[in-house]
Structure 1
Amino acid sequence: MSKLMCVVLKFIFAVLSLVSISPAAARVNETTYMRVLPSTGQEIVCNRCAPGFHLRAHCTDTRQTECRRCSAGFYTEFWNYIPECLPCDSCFEHQVVKQPCTHTRNQVCECEEGFFWNFHFCKRHTVCGAGYVVKSKGTPYADTMCEFCQNGYYATGAPGNKVCVPHKTCRPEERLLLHGSCWHDNVCASCNRIVEKGWDGLIKPLLAELFAQQKPHRLQRFVNRFVLRDDGRRRISQRRSSSENYLLHAQEWLRRATPEQLIELPDKLTKINLNNLAANVENKIAKFREETKYCSNNIP
């Protein structure tokens, strides 16, 4: 079949389709709809119900469409002829109302501060781990994006506002007690300061930061087993205390700990199966004690 013949046939079909449209159908638009009367088969054009209303009764050849206003908690957003209004959505756990339900629009919910929508529920924003900073802050619709500090830098600052800063350089009169990592700075101290503070006084801030990096259930084990029991206080259940409380108990224990208690700390951590933390603590204590021996012969 030639190209010209195809064009002619398409034109003929288009004309026939226009001819076949009924007069009633030609008058249908956004605010109307066509209905066939069951008794006569006659086609008539009915008014749709406005937004905020729903169909109560179809039109007939003697009266127009009857509409009813949506009840509270229900809505219709467009011109319609549906028998019932649509129920407004409900907010889920950790959601707040962004747009309230009205007769003409659905309720819109979004995740509350600190959460984002994860397919079917609100999930808590990722907290950037040790050595990471926030690359892009989380929103109600996207998780926090984290970025690792490059070599020679460490992450410091309040959670959620940490920045990567370069490791400091020790002054000529200072010893480098511990090389910096992605989560802590170089630890430098002069002999005068080492004698004044002792190795235990210098290492405690570092150990407190190590405890801050632990998950709540790990801190709970340490606090219940070695902190509250030694003080004669009752164990804390996870329901009755937050991760911040566990950390405060653990860091308070560190603040009051003697050099002997710090030396025993790796064994305590091993007993509650915190083996990686125990090894980390033991290595840092050994490093501090070794370096400070150059300044004092009274290191325990």
Structure 2
Amino acid sequence: MEGGVHTGKWIPKASAGTILLLMCMFIPTLTALLQLSEGLKCQDDEYPNEEKGVCCNKCHPGFKLVGKCLDKDQRSNCTACPKSQYNEERNYTPNCRTCKICKKSWHEVEVSPCDTKRNTVCRCEDGYYKDVIDSETYQCIKCSQCGHGEKEKETCTLGRNTMCECTENYHEVKNRCEPCKNCSTGCQHLCPFLTTKPPESGEGYLVKILGVFFAVAMVMSGVLVAITYIATKRSTKNKLLKSSSETSDDSLDSCESGLIYKEQHSNSSVEAAPQSPVRDQERSDLLGSPPLEIKIPDLIYMVLDLVPVLKVKQLMRALGVRDSEIEHAELDYRSSREAHYQMLRVWAERGSRAGGGGCGGMLHRALLQELLDKLREMNLGRAAEELETKYGIQ
């Protein structure tokens, strides 16, 4: 052949039919690979079985999954939930959920029982309302009673506490209703001269002078009251220190002789300490209750760790600690935690003198129970449960 080189070999050409045949063989495989890479798209009542590349049907409410389907024409293997367990929705979970139990100790009553498709429905018993903690947790709190100077605005319901408002001639001061004693905010209706037109000329000027004189007199009276209060407080503090040292010596003798309470202690500490919150008729029960091996300082520090700082003084008042004792502790200690410690110590020592605690830091069950009851009344049920768990209270 001119102008080129001939090898002498013949190369066959593939036919168009052969190429099409090969393409048809590989298209299904490519399609399956693309579907796996993108993930299975199943209906709302199905779930994907990635291993087999198929969508399986979900189990009905009241059932749980035992085995997945192996082919698109097969169904999942489901079984009914056992007794005291349930599943509310379609699912493919291997477990059922445990039914809730309404607890009488938590003031709950059962509305409807649990079955395989629905959990137990509980509500708070009469006289209590539901205090929601989170989406799945709540506690039943006793309905509040309106206090002195208050009247009921809205009745307590299953989902809301009692709503109170101040009665006539009372106004709200720091979440408490105080009687109207002057023309302060909320009491203007008792002072008509504030809303009438002031007198003209000399009369108006005289009224202003009298008002200024009255204000100055009030300020001076307040200063004198404050000075008297501080002096009295210091005197009382000195008496308390002296009385406490004498009481400590007497208590040591009491421990050595095996006695818990002496009448002479109550007589010697009448001036320094307030009357015990434990009633006389309950004192014999307190003395007869078994003492708990609880160190009072350990109990106090645990309470301070569990109770929010802003609610400690409220707890103190609920336990019978007086406002003067609370102020005394706040003046003596710059640290709020140390001040709160002293407030709780006042309560614990007072209970000890009344028969609530024994020698060597031993505490009687009745005194601890009083603390647990007050915590629950203040919506601090979780703190009460922690203390019960710590000290084995059932």
Q: Same fold (TM over 0.5)?
A: no
TM range (shorter): 0.3 to 0.5
| Structure of higher CA gyration radius | 2
Q: Which has the higher helix share?
A: 2
> What's the TM-score once normalised by structure 2's chain length?
0.32
Query: As a proportion of its length, which structure holds more strand?
Result: 1
